[in-house]
Structure 1
């Protein structure tokens, strides 16, 4: 099998290594340049390709005629997309006579679209996974080749779940490649009506609404915890990032206080609209500096004094 790989991020790194280990001839890798405004906490596929001796080029726009020509010159049997950020046009996919396949970070047909791991954690799911599927004009709509499930534990952050999904992607590709190489690619139905499509998320979507139930607030904190931008709240005109928290049992909160972030018994306590609470174990200033309960208490006192004037 001769392949062209569009890849990025940790899934791109691991799946490219699986292809190499299985003896697939990767003729070309197309990846992204790092964005200057992005927290680069993941592996660079360009580095992986260089390590493995595979030719690569940077291609932000797969509609660029130069990308199509490079794929055409590579003469692939198949095209793989491993967390490449852009939709690959049908004309490029058609350059691979044996098909084009994408690795998606959910159990399709659930959580089609962008940032599926974050959405799954936000919605309180207890399971997600990785799915290899055929690419077509609509995103994440082609038939399913194979998939692997992983658990989402109650206190897992999206970053921790993403690590599991990366392993699931590696396992899925490793398991199914022999059949694909032999020309017997499995085809399972992708029943779109049984799932939903989700768009991307912006940092502003991490704003905490303390009037929401504690479960919703806690899931938001987990879903966008670092290395993602983080859930945040604003006090005294300043933004604070709730980087780590733990949901408290009912009856263990401070009564009489309104929803919001407080200091109670020397601890940072987020009180929610349903009377539940989260214990904030790591609070950061907007510049990333840690904020202790004592420091936050001083900020609250200053705000109270200013409001009383």
Structure 2
């Protein structure tokens, strides 16, 4: 099939590479300009560069809603559009333009985790599986019929970086598998159960601020989700920002007030956690490594020279 590809960052790059390696013919590529957004500078392999290396025409757009783009797509005459990590709304006259419509590739197990940063949100929420879904695009974002979907297990110590590498390897088989089904003439696919749908916004500063009322188990997942090169989860100590680079759930149970710098456990420093920490039934968050406001990285056991005082969400 003749394929037009909409994509951005490493997800789009892997999709384009899969298409270039397949029997399908990539006739044009649409991608975004480079961005300074913190999350969009990560995994930023260039779709434009890859397309140009293979002689594929490239169109740069923030939004795909102008007459020139529509005309160029008409002239390219694709049989289908494939999209992955396209960051803005695609209007119906674009996604319905090819005879086979538009196949969107999304890094979650739809209908759950539609929208943005699905791997990070899924890890914070303690999901046991993540994956990649190829679905037909319709008027509701990430809601169309599922053509192909594959999952990988979330291990207890996985970070968001681990999950990225696991799921990015699924892009090629899911994309080409879905295209081959469509090319074979199949038109009936799996409807999404919209009662199970969840939709998430982009990650931002407020989403990585540590709330010590959360249980230690959730905070430990937040730290793993916000591992480098993503912005690290942070708190404040004595009025200065402190990033938590690594942590585990404490072995012991610690009672008191959430945020209290309380106890040395091995090489870690335990912070009291959980809204009901007063009961003494909770585990704490055992911080193992931190980064200070001036950029120093050091073990928590060296940073916290004495116990006592509090970590707070704001200065």
Q: Distance in 1 between matches of 2:148 and 2:232?
A: 32
- CA deviation map 1:129-186 (0-9, x unaligned): 1000000111011101010011111221122112211112222123333222233255
Residues 80 and 283 of structure 1, relative CA distance in 2, 3 Å threshold: same
Compare the two structures and name the one with the higher helix fraction: 1
Residues 106 and 258 of structure 1, relative CA distance in 2, 3 Å threshold: closer
TM-score after normalising by structure 2: 0.86
Q: Distance in 1 between matches of 2:294 and 2:71?
A: 44
Report the Cα offset of residue 295 of structure 1.
5.3
Corresponding position of 1:38 = 38
Report the Cα offset of residue 78 of structure 1.
0.5
Corresponding position of 1:307 = none
- CA deviation map 1:26-48 (0-9, x unaligned): 11111112213436231221222
For these two proteins, the number of residue pairs brought into alignment is 301
2:258 and 2:271 in contact (8 A); partners too:
no
CA-based RMSD: 2.4
Residues 91 and 256 of structure 1, relative CA distance in 2, 3 Å threshold: closer
Residues 300 and 248 of structure 1, relative CA distance in 2, 3 Å threshold: closer
Residues 66 and 286 of structure 1, relative CA distance in 2, 3 Å threshold: farther
Segment drifting more, 125-134 vs 194-203: 194-203
2:154 matches 1:147 = no
Corresponding position of 2:283 = 276
Secondary structure of the structure 1 residue equivalent to 2:304 = helix
Out of 280, 289, 293, the residue aligned to residue 300 of structure 2 is: 293
Q: Distance in 1 between matches of 2:298 and 2:186?
A: 56
Residues 53 and 248 of structure 1, relative CA distance in 2, 3 Å threshold: farther
Name stretches of at least 5 consecutive residues in structure 1 with no aligned partner: 305-309
Corresponding position of 2:113 = 111
Residues 174 and 289 of structure 1, relative CA distance in 2, 3 Å threshold: farther
Q: Distance in 2 between matches of 1:286 and 1:133?
A: 43
Q: Distance in 1 between matches of 2:287 and 2:58?
A: 44
1:151-166 alignment runs, 5 A limit: 151-166=153-168
Segment drifting more, 161-170 vs 126-135: 161-170
Residues 145 and 68 of structure 1, relative CA distance in 2, 3 Å threshold: same
Report the Cα offset of residue 261 of structure 1.
4.8
Residues 258 and 5 of structure 1, relative CA distance in 2, 3 Å threshold: closer
TM-score after normalising by structure 1: 0.88
Name stretches of at least 5 consecutive residues in structure 2 with no aligned partner: 311-315
Report the Cα offset of residue 256 of structure 1.
6.4
1:224-239 alignment runs, 5 A limit: 224-239=226-241
Q: Distance in 2 between matches of 1:101 and 1:176?
A: 8
Segment drifting more, 254-263 vs 34-43: 254-263
Corresponding position of 1:26 = 26
